[in-house]
Amino acid sequence: MPDTAQLEAYVAISQVKATCCRMLDTKDWDGYADLFTEDMELDMRPSGGTLIKGRDAMIRMISGALAGQVTVHQVHSPEMTIVGNVAEVIWAMQDRVVWTEDRKLQIGNAGHTGFGHYHERYVRGPDGRWRIAYLKLTRLHIDIDR
């Protein structure tokens, strides 16, 4: 049975991820950035993207791609292993993206709805806050809007 410290970490990590989805969808880039370590890695290769190293590079890429777009990210059913100040988490996820008219012309479609998993590593820093140090997106299915 988990002890109190593990339950507190579980709740805190769940709050980080919920905030992460909200900050991303509301385009609060400063709030979003604060949820990640400076040396974080974003691995989009399994879903057709690239590996991005560093929080600043990730924010530039994501904000450049999604600023002005309508997005909805939802996560659930976390599988969480917490050992000390490190947690490995797999979240089931669904995302919905609706491109603006200008972006539709660039991308060649109107948006998508995707399903898959976020594979993440969280670390608790000296300030006691949990932050995402590694995020990999894998997709099981994606519907493209034409």
Can you give the pLDDT at residue 1?
A: 63
How confident is the model over 7-27, as pLDDT tens digits? Answer: 999 999 999 999 999 999 999
Q: What is the mean pLDDT of the chain?
A: 97
| CATH code of 18's domain | 3.10.450.50
Domain that holds residue 122: 4-145
Number of domains present in the structure of the chain: 1
- Reported pTM: 0.95
* DSSP per residue, 17-84: HHHHHHHHHHT-HHHHHTTEEEEEEEE-GGGT--EEESHHHHHHHHHHHHTTSEEEEEEEEEEEEEET
